[in-house]
Structure 1
Amino acid sequence: MSLLDTAKNLIQGQSRYRLEVQGCTDLLDVEHFTGREAASDTYHYQITFTCSAQDLSAQQLLRRNASLTFCAPINNVMGLATQPTVAKRVHGVVTDFRRLSGSADEARYQLVIEPFFALLRHQIRSHRFFINQSIPDVVEQILREHNFKGWEFEFHLEKAYPKREQINQINESDRQFIERLLSEVGIFYRFGLQDDTQTEVLHFTDSQRGYVYDKTLPLNSPSGLSDNHVDSVWGLSLRHQVVESTVFAKDYNHRLAEDTLISAVADMTRGDGEKTNYGDVYHYKGRHLTRGDKIRPETETANFWARLDHERFLARQTLLRGESSAADLTPLLVLNIQDNPLSSTLPAVFKSPILITRLRFTASRDKALTVRFDAVPYTESLCWRPALKPRPVIAGTLMARVTSAKDHDIYAHQNEHGFYWVKFDADRDDKTKGYESMPVRLAKPYAGDTYGMHFPLIQGTEVAIAFHEGDPDRPYIAHALHDSRHPDHVTDKNNTRNVIRTPANNKLRMEDKRGQEHIKLSTEYGGKTQLNLGHLVNAEREQRGDGFELRTDSWGAIRAGKGLLISTQEQEKASEQQLNIDEIKRQLSDALSMAESLSTILETAEVEPLDNQTQETFLHGNITQLQEPVILAGAPGGIAVSTPKHIQHSSNGNQIYTAVGNTEISSLKRMVLFAKKKMVLFAHELGMKLVSAAGKIEIQAQTGEVDIIAQKGLNITSTNDEIIISAKKKITLQSGSSYITIEGSQIEHGTSGDFNVKSSNLQYMDAATLNMPYSQFTACESMASEAAQNGTGTVPLR
């Protein structure tokens, strides 16, 4: 052993505090130090030391592993020094280093030892997003990212913590983020020392089983400079204060909108604090999804939050303080204080175990170690909880894009509730494609029970994500935006147009340019189907009409279940009722009146009158108030129907045509008028013409008679051929009282006056006959016509 090593061992053997830094071979002699430790906080030891090296560099010390060892006093037995006993060892990294002064012999330095976990305060993230993880999962992930080994942290958790849909880190360091998450659910931590490596270990716990037990110290105020090397406590004080009596929590979960999600009133003193505590605390938006059991609530439920919050309040109801010389005191240590049972001066609260929550260490070369501690009463029924760390509040929105699990998806990627997944622009972590966030609701201007307004968002759409009450874990899509990748469809080139257009070019366009106002509703299916209203334009904005146009390149249908009115009757600015048909009713009433007057003429002429009753019933029963599903058409300027092919009219009832003017029917080919029962042609004033320019005119009464009656003359003329009048049985020509009858075998002339024959020649010849052809009617036609004439519904078979 060298002389230097011998000197080091001699000096270190005389000092109760030994400072060592990894890689530093110089002797670091502790002059004095202060330290603080607390539950759910990192320890911090500031150590002033001297060293013969005049220029220790930052590279030698910063971020190096370091340890401060507390040694028990050395007992010399028979003048022989025994090996010092380690009372406490603090391990960590050097986070701060400075040179204070120097002399010819040595220099004074100061450094700070903190656990490696404290360095996480330098890992700052403005945004980070964790998906479908529990709080312990998130904490473990971050620790492993900082190269914590599995044995360097331990979870001793009594409760199971659910996976949250999304947990966001907002403008926080990793340490702040971890401590905030832990405080929210009541998990606290302490540091221990690994036996083999003598390095720090993080212990996370949520119940009393994470405490350190079996420590007892006597109550003994030291006097003079000697404490007989026996650790003790002294200087005990306490403080009681009024805290809140009860807590209850309420929240809203849109997935269970009918559930109020309100907790039971939580009083963790079970009524014992009724006379000392005051105030009921009501928390809304505790971020719970269910109510939870009243007695044993599941974590992150309404009753869990209420009970946890009351435990936080009760943790500061009774605050204890004291001092000690014991170096091995540690946060979350359950300490028993031993007093003289015969003359105890301890208050009752100190006679029971206490839980240490905070420690402050001070010592120097010339002053013994003093440990000041804060504590609370220990109880098995009430667990200590760390203070709630403030949750970041997000003002404004974050930029994100709608995502999909499918590349170039042309349809919206949604869950069964219509929510979307988004990729935050600030998110640097790799996540499953299409599921980079929790399912996010879309805010809409109108919503209801399966009704509202919703335009599906397509992959890549830029959206602004807002947060309910600024809560970073409650995002929703506030609105969608255009960008250079998805430019706006309304710009300075068409800034007079208000346009709703879908990705498939379904469109509602409203033009506001003065004098050219119009609305267009269109779809691309089947070529083009559109409804155009107002000032009609083409693709180049050139006018092509005005009014309205309903058109399609595919099939079209107009269907109205109660009735359909088609009218060109002007109704300026919709000033009258929708179904105002006064003009049409007047027109039809006039037609009915005319038909009734014509019926009178028919009756006078002993012709069967028109069926006016049916027409009147239809007018008043179906049309007047559109009582029945009829199509009613009216046009003051006239109605024209045209087709290059076929027009067909069909009805199971009557077809009535009435015209004040002419009724003209023209056909370039054949025209057929067919009546199964009866046909009447009647002209009242100007007569009737039946003309065939080519071809013959044939009039038949297949089972009946033909009557040709004229009040005046009856002319039968053949201008270029003969006239044949034939009868199979008999012909009678009669005028006044004279007559001629022609039968099959005789001709008879009869008159009461003269019978004159004027002829240049009169011949009498042999008998002769002439057989004329007669039209033959089928038996079916004859019998059917006869049955119809007799009004019978059957035809006899002969």
Structure 2
Amino acid sequence: MWTKQELSKLRLEARMKVFGESSEAQFLFEIAGTALGVIEFTAVEKLSSPYEVTLSLASEDEVRMDEVIGREGLLTILGDEADRYFHGIISSFVQVGTKGRFFLYQAKMVPSLWLLSLEQDCRIFQNKTVQEIVSTILEDAGITSDRFVFRLQNRYEPREYCVQYCETDLQFISRLLEREGIFYFFEHSRDKHLLVFGDSTVNYQPIAGEPQVLFHPSDSRVPGEEFVYAFQLQRQIQSGKITLRDFNFKRPTLDLTAQEEGSVDNRFEIYNYPGLYNTESDGRRLARLRLEESLVVRDLAFGESYCPRFVPGLTFQLVNHDFEELNQEYLLIEVTQEGEQPQELEERANAEREFHYSNSFACIPSSVQFRPQEKIPRPFIKGPQTAIVVGPEGEESYMDDEYYGMVKVQFHWDREGRRDEHSSCWIRVAYPYAGENHCTQFTPLIGDEVLVDFLEGNPDRPVIIGSLFKGEHKAVVKPEDMTKNEILTPYQHKISLDDKGGEITISTGANYSCRMSDPKKLIHISTPNGRFLSLDDTAQEVRLNTEHGSYLSLHDPSKTIQLETEDRNFLLMEPGKITLKSTGGQEIIFQDSGNVLKMKNNNGHCVKIQSGNPNILVSDSNLTHKIQVGPDSINIFADTGTMTIQTKGGDLVVRALGQTLKLEGASGRITIDSTGIHIDAGAAPVEVKGSLIKLNC
């Protein structure tokens, strides 16, 4: 920001403006090219925390607020070994008043990282590493990539799903960094401050100039020397064992218990669930980080010095302490610096006091791996939220291909989601009944509004616990039917349970249905074409109907089974009787009473077989013509008309294999037996006898 020549000029300006030519300022300050005299300042710096520099300033010229607020400023502490710079953004500027010819001000200077505390957001990061997430947040806040650097030694896996929820950007990235054990500090130069991220002792670098700093047990400053005048080391008992546990629903039998313990204090255990990890290796890594975090402050030193080169994140070597074991290398984790110009504004030319500078600091042995304490709590969502189920454009449903019944959603607070398959991670759905080879599964569909809860209140662990009606998607059951309970699919498959009507109806989208009614004591199964099966306890009947009227009826009171086709073909089974009847009137009857088998056509002609009667009867409708077959005879009756036996082209043979062949008429008869041929024609009978009879030969 300044060249050496400009720095010399600035020193001269500050000395002349504030303290006169007889005094030399040791603290210099500039805002946007304007030099102001430093009356006093306090600078507080901590590892993994934005620093804050508070200054009391003076100038013979009036400084307008809008000319400095939000601008970059630089505080320089002129040192014996090296100058110390504080570069930052002016976050606050106060016009205090005047004293003599001087305008007095107070200013507060912070790093650009502090500006992230002014922005709060809700957003989702998917499949990004912590480094990628932090980089995105910083760049979105206007911190360019040349103002921060990652000096990481470890490899970090992408996070499948990471939510910033109602947190400032600073809280969010601090929470992520703390969990991963990544610390940060600042490197100041004349023209900028660089945000540095580290995760290993490899990142430890010595202070500028000579790294050895003398311990001198005196609170009086020796001109020209930088030394530590107060130093003490504190050791305290810490938890030396960390045990974590979690559950991976994709590998439910996997024991995800992870444990790490140190060589000291390992009888004191911290056990935590859930550990928020899914693999054994990640569990071990996190347990190790939490152990290192616990042991960071086991040995904690506090001191005071006149060395302005002390910067959190850098190391120094303490020498000349009376306790030999304290003479070692330390990592600075916190430094508070205070400075005051010795001159009074009114009497600067006659000032007798020298300027004052000192600092207090906290440090740990550099052999200890520093990890930031997990101080930023993750957001806790107090209760469920609603969200909209989403998926690829044009699809009606979208579910994970691992068969866990998971879906994706768009949260109402998510401004960056595009209501597609990338809006969230796969989210589990709580079903009423779920397990191996058994379930009740109704997967939410795209466009549905669902109720989302969060395991342990963690926004990174959503789970769907229900669905809701919304907007145009209104309830199927209307107020007047509030005693009904229904299950309805988009294809219009439906199960309806009517408590008031005492009915259960199951129907398909094509209107195939099954209705069960308690009041009617009825089960009715039907098709859209009119086919149905009815089981009716009131009528005590089972009935099966076809589309065109064919039916089968089983009737308990009459103990009958009736089958009828659409063409009126008919079968009736009654107690002791079976009747078959065709459309044209043909009929067969089986009757137990009388042991009768009867076949009848539409003209009344019939065949009757009766077990109690030795005869088989074949007759016409009036029984005037009939054939009677008995056990020892066959009778053919023709009450009227003529009976003709005729053959064409062949012989007519009548055989009586017994003794006699008779032909009888109303006026006579012919008898053929072993004695001869007898022709009886009234008054002139004829007999033919003998062993040889010849006529006309």
CA apart distance, 1:762: 7.1
Q: Secondary structure at the match of 2:300?
A: strand
How much does 1:749 deviate? Answer: 3.7
**1:442 pairs with one of 422, 429, 432:** 429
- Aligned residue for 2:160, secondary structure, equals strand
CA distance 1:358–1:695, change in 2 (3 Å) = same
Distance 1:749 1:667 in 2: 53
Provide the residue aligned with 2:593 in structure 1.
none
1:343-358 alignment, distance < 5 Å: 345-348=322-325, 350-358=326-334
Describe the shift of the 1:710–1:533 C-alpha distance in structure 2 as closer, same or farther (beyond 3 A): same
SS for the counterpart of 2:391 is coil
CA distance in 1, matches of 2:532, 2:232: 92
Task: List aligned pairs for 1:680-699, cutoff 5 A.
Answer: 681-684=609-612, 689-693=617-621
2:576 aligns with: 660
Per the alignment, residue 178 of structure 1 pairs with 173
2:400 aligned with 1:414 = yes
Counterparts in 2 of 1:281 and 1:4: CA distance versus 1, 3 Å: closer
Matched with 1:50 is 58
The aligned amino acid for 1:266 is E
Query: Aligned-pair distance for 1:665?
Result: 5.2
- 2:24 is aligned to 14
SS in structure 2 of the partner of residue 182 of structure 1: helix
Structural mapping, 1:545-560, within 5 Å: 547-553=522-528
CA contact (8 A) 1:717 1:723 kept: no
Task: Tell me the residue number matched to 1:429.
Answer: 416
Question: Counterpart in 2 of 1:115?
Answer: 111
SS in 1 for 2:619: coil
Partner of 2:365: 377
Letter in 1 for 2:332: I
Q: Does the 8 Å contact 1:242/1:278 carry over to 2?
A: no
Taking the aligned partners of 1:680 and 1:493, their CA distance within structure 2 comes to 64
2:137 matches 1:142: yes
Q: 1:763 to 1:480 in 2, by over 3 A?
A: closer
- Structure 2 Cα separation of the partners of residues 640 and 518 of structure 1: 28
Match of 2:260 in 1: 266
TM-score, normalised by the number of residues in structure 2? 0.80
Give per-residue Cα distances to partners, 1:415-460, cap 9 Å, x unaligned. Answer: 4232111111111114583211111111112110143111121111
Residue in 2 aligned with 1:742? 672
Cα drift, residue 742 of structure 1: 3.1
1:477 matched to 2:398: no
Q: Give the counterpart of 2:498 among 511, 518, 534.
A: 511
Q: CA deviation at 1:398?
A: 2.4
TM-score, normalised to structure 1's length?
0.71
Instruction: Give the 3 Å change call, closer, same or farther, for CA 508–31 of structure 1 in structure 2.
Output: same
- 1:41–1:189 Cα contact (<8 Å) kept: yes
Out of 320, 337, 341, the position equivalent to 2:318 is 337
- Which digits, 9 at most, give the CA deviation of each residue in 1:440-486, with x for residues without a partner? 11111211014311112111111122110101211111211111131
Q: CA deviation at 1:722?
A: 4.6
Match of 2:288 among 307, 315, 318: 307
Over 3 Å counting, the alpha-carbon distance change for 1:723 and 1:659 in structure 2 is: farther
Q: Which residue of 2 aligns with 1:247?
A: 242
- Identity within the alignment, %: 23
SS at match of 1:485: coil
AA in 1 matched with 2:504: I
Change in 2 beyond 3 A, CA 1:670/1:568 = same
Q: Is the 8 A contact 1:133 1:165 kept in 2?
A: yes
Which AA in structure 2 matches 1:378? Answer: S
Q: Distance in 1 between matches of 2:11 and 2:303?
A: 40
In structure 2, relative to structure 1, the CA distance for the partners of 1:697 and 1:284 (3 Å cut) is: farther
- Over 3 Å counting, the alpha-carbon distance change for 1:508 and 1:730 in structure 2 is closer
Corresponding residue number in structure 2 for 1:588: none
Write the letter of the residue equivalent to 1:412: Y
What RMSD, in angstroms, separates the aligned Cα atoms of the two structures?
4.0
Tell me: CA distance 1:128–1:102, structure 2 relative to 1, closer, same or farther (3 Å). Answer: same
Q: Which residue number in structure 1 is paired with residue 549 of structure 2?
A: none
Q: Where do 1:203-602 residues align within 5 Å?
A: 203-213=196-206, 215-222=211-218, 224=220, 226-263=221-258, 265-267=259-261, 269=262, 271=263, 273-274=264-265, 278-292=267-281, 301-339=282-320, 345-348=322-325, 350-366=326-342, 367-379=355-367, 382-388=368-374, 389-407=376-394, 409-416=395-402, 417-430=404-417, 433-513=420-500, 516-525=501-510, 528-534=511-517, 547-553=522-528
2:345 equivalent in structure 1: none
Kept in 2: contact 1:20–1:28 (CA 8 A): yes
Deviations 1:208-247 (A, max 9, x none): 12222262111123564x5131211121112221111211
Deviation of 1:546 after TM superposition, in Å, equals 6.5
Which deviations, in whole Å up to 9, do the C-alpha atoms of 1:310-360 show, x marking residues without a partner?
A: 111111212101111111111121211111xxxx51251x22211110000
Q: Name the CA distance, whole Å, in 2 between partners of 1:567 and 1:684.
A: 40
**Alpha-carbon separation, structure 2, partners of 1:11 and 1:473:** 57
In structure 2, the partner of 1:796 is none
Residue 672 of structure 2 aligns to which amino acid in structure 1?
A: I
CA shift in 2, pair 1:454/1:71, >3 Å: same
Amino acid of the residue matched to residue 691 of structure 1?
Answer: S
Deviation string for 1:526-582 (max 9, x for gaps)? xx200011179xxxxxxxx76221011369899xxxxxxx9877899xxxxxxxxxx
Per the alignment, in what secondary structure is the counterpart of residue 302 of structure 1? Answer: helix
Aligned: 1:71 with 2:58: no
CA, structure 1 residues 423+7, in 2 after alignment: closer, same or farther (shift >3 Å)?
A: closer
Q: In the alignment, which residue of structure 2 is the partner of 1:721?
A: 642
CA contact (8 A) 1:67 1:92 kept: yes
Match of 1:128 among 123, 129, 148: 123
- Which of 86, 89, 95 is 2:91 aligned to? 95
Q: Residue 639 of structure 1: CA displacement?
A: 2.0
Distance 1:475 1:136 in 2: 24
Contact persistence 1:567–1:635 (CA under 8 A)? no
Change (3 A) 1:521 1:534: same
Task: Quote how far apart the aligned CAs of 1:668 are.
Answer: 2.8
Give the 3-state SS of the residue equivalent to 1:493 in structure 2.
helix
Once residues 313 and 49 of structure 2 are traced to their aligned partners in structure 1, the CA distance between those partners, rounded to angstroms, is 11
Q: Distance in 2 between matches of 1:767 and 1:5?
A: 180
Q: 1:68, 1:347 → 2: CA distance?
A: 36
The unaligned stretches of length 5 or more in structure 1 are 74-84, 293-300, 537-544, 559-565, 573-630, 650-655, 701-705, 751-755, 770-798
| Equivalence map 1:191-202=2 (5 Å) | 191-193=186-188, 198-202=191-195
Q: Is the 8 A contact 2:561 2:573 kept in 1?
A: no
Change (3 A) 1:140 1:742: same
Distance 1:321-1:503 versus aligned 2 partners, 3 A rule:
same
Whole-angstrom distance in 2 between the partners of 1:665 and 1:361? 116
The 3 A distance-change label for structure 1 pair 176 and 661 is closer
Which residue type is aligned with residue 238 of structure 1?
A: L
2: CA distance, partners of 1:210 / 1:697:
126
Matched, 1:639 2:646: no
3-state SS of the aligned residue for 1:326?
coil
C-alpha separation between the residues in 1 aligned to 2:76 and 2:180?
A: 35
Distance 1:227 1:461, change over 3 A: same
Q: Aligned partners of 1:369 and 1:437: how far apart in 2?
A: 54
Alpha-carbon distance between aligned partners in 1 of 2:373 and 2:195, rounded to the nearest angstrom? 19
Structure with more of its chain in strand, by fraction = 2
Residue 32 of structure 1: CA displacement? 0.7
Offset, 1:200: 0.5
Provide the residue aligned with 2:594 in structure 1.
Answer: none
- Pick closer, same or farther for the CA change 1:757–1:532 going to 2, 3 Å: closer
